[in-house]
């Protein structure tokens, strides 16, 4: 194993142990940095130079790779260099690498009518219908990520209407359960006759509980319930998180509070939602701008 490969292994361990990054994050960083090492054919950190990095970035661009994807490689490499600098290992200074400018991220949300139809899509009193209704209501009430929802324990404080979740970076935050979500969960739990300690469970075709619900199963049920609701466009679970955030902003919540509720480390991540409130701003502009001029006419 070369010197640079040993240092990369140390860095990945550092990410997981010292920085509490998820195994998936370490896996992604390993992929990005190994691609750079494979391209550059270097064996020592001192061989990481500006011209080498420039050639790598040019090669990524020539693959017709999206700018946002190119930025992942650059971010991973720059963070690796920060680690080397912290350990006083001679290599290119991380500040010598500029991040590519990427276009503003575009996200989708459900129209209000579509959202209401989706939440009401599970019909009947079967365990599956009650579970699906509870999952959809919980998504919209809390803005949870898919993995966070799937990992919820059965014992949550419905009376207080709040639950502590462990999100990205192993960070804890409190999310709040609306009255409609609480009612849906209570009805669902009352139907459960199993000893599974997960809040949301997988159910086989015979209606038997077969363990904790998986992210893939939740994605499927969201897509299926969207079809039943007559929603034409593809719907995924994360759209409900987007809808949660924009609903708060449109109704007057400040962006810092929304950041805390979503569990975003950086406010810039939350700001991607603000462009979706432009319609509301347009209505305010139309209603109040130039009122005196209109009166004079």
Instruction: Answer positive or negative: Cα dihedral of 170, 158, 181, 125.
Output: positive
Distant-in-sequence, close-in-space partners of 111: CB < 8 Å, separation ≥ 6? none
Closest by CA to 201, choosing from 122, 274, 128, is: 128
- Known catalytic residues are 145, 168, 238, 241, 264, 273
Question: What tokens were used for 266?
Answer: 């950086």
Tokens 């994605």 belong to residue: 219
Closest by CA to 189, choosing from 153, 227, 148, is: 153
Tokens 């500006």 belong to residue: 50
Bridge partner residues of 212 (DSSP): 201
Closest by CA to 135, choosing from 198, 54, 50, is: 198
Distant-in-sequence, close-in-space partners of 210: CB < 8 Å, separation ≥ 6? 201, 202, 203, 204
Can you give the three-state secondary structure of 196-224, one letter per residue?
Answer: CCECCEEECCCCCEEEECCHHHHHHHHHH
Question: What tokens were used for 113?
Answer: 């009518």
Helical pair 127-142 and 179-191, crossing angle rounded to 10 deg: 150
Query: In sequence order, what DSSP letters do the residues of 54-100 get, joined into one string?
Result: HHHHHHHHHTT--HHHHHHHHHHHHHHHHHHHHTT--S--GGGSPPP
Q: Is residue 107 within 8 Å of 273, Cβ to Cβ?
A: yes
């Amino acid at each position: 194993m070369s010197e640079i490969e040993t240092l990369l292994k140390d860095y990945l361990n550092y990410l997981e142990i010292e920085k509490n990054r998820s195994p998936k994050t370490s896996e992604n960083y390993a992929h990005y940095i190994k691609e750079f090492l494979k391209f550059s054919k270097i064996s020592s950190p001192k061989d990481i130079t500006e011209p080498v990095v420039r050639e790598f970035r040019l090669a990524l661009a020539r693959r017709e790779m999206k700018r946002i994807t190119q930025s992942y490689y650059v971010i991973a490499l720059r963070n690796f260099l920060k680690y080397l600098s912290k350990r006083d290992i001679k290599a290119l200074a991380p500040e010598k690498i500029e991040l590519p400018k990427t276009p503003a991220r575009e996200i989708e949300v459900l129209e209000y009518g579509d959202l209401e139809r989706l939440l009401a899509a599970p019909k009947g009193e079967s365990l599956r219908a009650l579970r699906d209704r509870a999952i959809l209501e919980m998504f919209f009430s809390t803005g949870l990520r898919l993995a966070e929802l799937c990992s919820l324990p059965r014992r949550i404080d419905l009376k207080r209407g709040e639950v502590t979740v462990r999100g990205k970076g192993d960070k804890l935050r409190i999310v709040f359960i609306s009255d409609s979500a609480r009612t849906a969960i209570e009805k669902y739990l009352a139907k459960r006759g199993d000893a599974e300690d997960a809040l949301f469970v997988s159910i086989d075709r015979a209606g038997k509980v077969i363990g904790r619900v998986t992210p893939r199963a939740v994605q499927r049920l969201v897509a299926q319930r969207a079809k039943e609701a007559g929603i034409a466009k593809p719907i995924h679970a994360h759209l409900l998180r987007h809808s949660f955030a924009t609903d708060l902003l449109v109704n007057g919540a400040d962006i810092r509070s929304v950041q805390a509720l979503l569990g975003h480390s950086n406010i810039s991540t939350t700001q991607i939602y603000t462009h979706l409130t432009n319609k509301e701003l347009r209505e305010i502009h139309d209603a109040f701008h130039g009122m005196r001029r209109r009166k004079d006419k």
